[in-house]
Amino acid sequence: MLAIEDLRSRASGYLNQDQIDALTRAYQFGAHAHDGQRRASGEPYIEHPIAVASILADMHMDHETLIAAVLHDVIEDTPIGKDQIKREFGSEVAEIVDGLSKLTRMEFETHAEQQARNIQKMLMAMASDIRVIVVKLADRLHNMRTLAALAPKKRRAIARETLEIYAPIAQRLGMNQIRLELEELGFKSLHPMRYRVLAREVKRVRGHRREIVDKIRAAIKRRLRQEKIAADVIGREKHLYSIYKKMQQKHLPFSEVYDVYAFRLLVENVDTCYRVLGTMHNLYKPVPGKFKDYVAIPKSNGYQSLHTVLFGPYGVPIEVQIRTREMNEVAEAGIAAHWLYKSGEGEIVASAQQRAREWLRSVIDMQRQAGNSQEFLETVKTDLFPDAVYVFTPKGEIKELPKGATAVDLAYAIHTDVGNRCVGARINRHLAPLRTPLATGQTVEIITAPGARPNPAWLSFAVTARARSNIRHFLKTIQADEARTLGMRMLNRELESYGLKLDTVDKTQLDQVLAEMKLKSREQLLEEIGLGRRMAPIVARALTPVTAMLDGPATRIAEPTAQPLVIKGTEGMVVTFPKCCYPIPGDAIIGFVTAGRGIVIHREPCKNIADFRNQPEKWVDVSWAEQVDRDFQSEIRLDVTNQRGALATIAAAIAEQSANIENVQMTDRDDRYVSMTFIITVRDRVHLARVLRAIRAIKHVTRVQRTRS
C-alpha cells in the first residue's frame, strides 16, 4: 500500500480530490486483476504500473493518463477486456490502455514481425491520443530501471530496442529528460564493459576539471551582473552514451570528446536570449561556424535554444546554450510540457504540440503506403534521426530536412505530386541534379515536367521517410499495373486452348475460383499470375467448366491417354516427384508450384517444405487419382548384423513381394552392424508395408524403416 500512498502524494499537488479517488479506485481494480502475478524480480506485479504512474505524476500528466498507466497491462495480462475498463473508467482511459496492449493474440512468422506490428499499433493509437506514447515511454523507462532481473540475452534485446526505437521517439517528441535516461540505461545493458570503462574515465577526469569549471562559471556570472541581466548559469555534464556515440561516429579518443566545458543559461524572455548571446561573444571569442539559432528556426520536435561555442581560458572550448525557462521546460519534457502548462498554455508549448501532431500525421501517411509492418518500422526508424538542414524555397519559405537530404527529398517535402514529377533542381540559381545533397541556407527551386515519374534509382539517395515511402508506393502501383497486363496476356493464352477468354468466363465460376484461392478480385488474380506467384495453366484449368474441357481441342485431353493420371486436376500439367521424401499413393501430400518443374509433390511431413512456408500463394491442394497404375520410388533404411549372405537374403525378400531394387548403399557402423539404404519401386503404401514386413521377418535385420526426408 506504500506505493499507492506515494503516488497519491505526488498527484495531490495538482489533482483534485475526486481525481485522486478515481486513481485509488484504479489501483484497487488493477491490484485485483493482477492478483497472484509477480515480476521477474519477485515483487507483486502491481508495483510496476504504480511506478509508471508515479513517473507520469512527476510530469503532471492528467488523471486519465495516470489511471491508464495503472491499468496499462490489464488487457494484455489478465482476462479483463476493453469494454469493462470503458464501463469503469471511461472511453478515454480504455482507448489509451487498448493502444498500449500488444497484439499477443495474433500469430506472427517471426519475432521481428511481431515487434514491428506492436510498434505500428502503438504509433497508430498515438496518432489519435498522444498520451499513449507518453505512458509507453514511462513504462519502458521503469522496465529499463528494473532490467537487472532478466536473463542477459533478454536484457540486451530490450536495451537494443530501447536505443533503436523508444529513445529516438522520446527525442522526436522533445522529451529530452526521458530520452537521456533511456539512452544511459540502454547503453549500460547493451555494452556493460564499455559503460564501466567510460564511467571510470569520466569520474577520474571530472576531479581535474572542477577548478576550471568553477572559474568559467564565476566569470560568466560576473559579466552578466555587470550587464544587469538576470540568468541562471548551470554547468552541464556530458552523458556517457553521447560521449560513446561521438567517439564511435567521429573516431575520436575520449580526451578529445570530453575536453569540452558546457554551460546552460536560463533567462526570462527571447529578447534577453540574444542580449546574453552578445555578452558571451564579448566575454570569450566565438568559434566561427559554430553558432546555431534554434530560437528563430526551432527543431522538428519544438526544441528552441541558442547554441554557440567559445574559445575559453586556457584554450579550452566552451559550449553555451541560451534559452528561456519555458523553452527549457519544453526541451526537457517535450509534448508532456503541455500538461505542466495546462493553465494558460504558453506559445512555445503549443508549438511543440503542433509539431508533434504534424509528425504523427506523416506517420499515418507512411502507414498507408508501407507494404508491411516491417517496412513501416524501417521507414519510421529512418524518420527518427533528424539532424536538421534548413533550406529556402523561391518564395522564402523555410523547409527543414534531415542532414544528407537531397533535392528529391525537398520535392516530396513540398508535395507528393511535386516529388513524383520532379526532373531537376536549381540550387542558388544554378542547375543541379536531384541527387545533390542540400546545405543550410541554400535557396532551392524544384523543376518539374508533366510526363515525369519517379525513378527506382532515387531510393539509393533519398533520405527522408516521406520521400522513400512515396517513391516505393508509386513504383509498387506501376509494378502492379504492369503485372496485371502481363497476367491477362498469359491467362488468355492458356484459356485459348479451351476456346475461351477471361472476359467470357462465367462470373460464378470466376468468383468460385477467387474464393478458393483466397483472392479479393480479378485484378489481384491477374497480378499474382504476372508476378509469377501463380501458374497461368493451373488458373486456366480451374476457370474452365468440365464441358469446355471435354469439348476443347484434343491436344488438351489426349495427354492423359499417353500417361496415366496420378494427381487429380493436373491433366496436361508437368508433375514432379522429388527425391527428398519419395511420395507414394496413400501418403498425405501437398503440391508446390515451381518455375521449370511444374507442380512438385511432397509428403506433408517433408522437412524441405519448411523453407516455403512463407509463400502460401504457391501451395496447391492436391490428392491422388482414384486409380494409379504405375510404380513409385521409395527409400528404406535397415540395420543388419554383419553376416555373409545378408544382402542376398534381403534382396530375395524384396523380390518375392514384387518390388524392384533401383539402388543400394551400404555403410559399416562398427564390426557387428551394417547400415543399408535401398531405393525400391512400389505401387502404394500397402505394397510398401508388405515389403517392410517381409524384411522385418529376416533374422539378421535389427531395424527397418521408411526414410522421412
**Which residues carry out catalysis?**
76-77
Residue type for position 171: Q
Is residue 407 a contact partner of residue 463, using CB atoms and an 8 Å limit? no
Nearest to 575 by CA among 616, 545, 620, 531: 620
SS3 382: helix
Which residue is listed with cell 505401387?
A: 683
- Contacts of residues 387-390 at CB distance under 8 Å and 24 or more positions apart, as own/partner, are 388/299, 388/300, 389/438, 389/439, 389/440, 390/297, 390/440, 390/441
- Can you name the residues that pair with 638 across neighbouring β-strands? 676, 704
Residue 359: partners with Cβ closer than 8 Å, 6 or more residues away: 172, 173, 300, 301, 383
SS3 399: strand
Tell me which DSSP letter residue 546 carries. H
- Pair type for strands 575-576 and 598-603: parallel
Residue 400: partners with Cβ closer than 8 Å, 6 or more residues away: 297, 299, 300, 386, 388, 389, 390
How far is Cα 287 from Cα 307, in angstroms, rounded to an integer?
Answer: 11
- Pair type for strands 619-620 and 232-236: unpaired
How far is Cα 622 from Cα 40, in angstroms, rounded to an integer?
Answer: 49
- Please give the C-alpha separations between residue 74 and each of 371, 572, 589, in angstroms, as whole numbers: 32, 58, 44
SS3 211: helix
Output the nine-digit C-alpha cell for 294. Answer: 534554434
How far is Cα 135 from Cα 170, in angstroms, rounded to an integer?
Answer: 11
How far is Cα 697 from Cα 541, in angstroms, rounded to an integer?
Answer: 48
Nearest to 132 by CA among 72, 183, 44: 72
Is residue 364 a contact partner of residue 117, using CB atoms and an 8 Å limit? no
How far is Cα 420 from Cα 438, in angstroms, rounded to an integer?
Answer: 19
Output the nine-digit C-alpha cell for 478. Answer: 506501376
- Please give the C-alpha separations between residue 36 and each of 39, 43, 289, in angstroms, as whole numbers: 10, 10, 61
Residue 191: partners with Cβ closer than 8 Å, 6 or more residues away: 244
Is residue 452 a contact partner of residue 421, using CB atoms and an 8 Å limit? yes
How far is Cα 537 from Cα 552, in angstroms, rounded to an integer?
Answer: 15
* Helix locations, 227-239, DSSP H: none
Residue 245: partners with Cβ closer than 8 Å, 6 or more residues away: none
How far is Cα 420 from Cα 416, in angstroms, rounded to an integer?
Answer: 6
For the four alpha carbons of 498, 503, 509 and 514, in that order, the dihedral sign comes to positive
How far is Cα 282 from Cα 310, in angstroms, rounded to an integer?
Answer: 10
Residue 555 CB neighbour total at 10 angstroms: 9
Tell me which DSSP letter residue 566 carries. -
- Can you name the residues that pair with 437 across neighbouring β-strands? 406
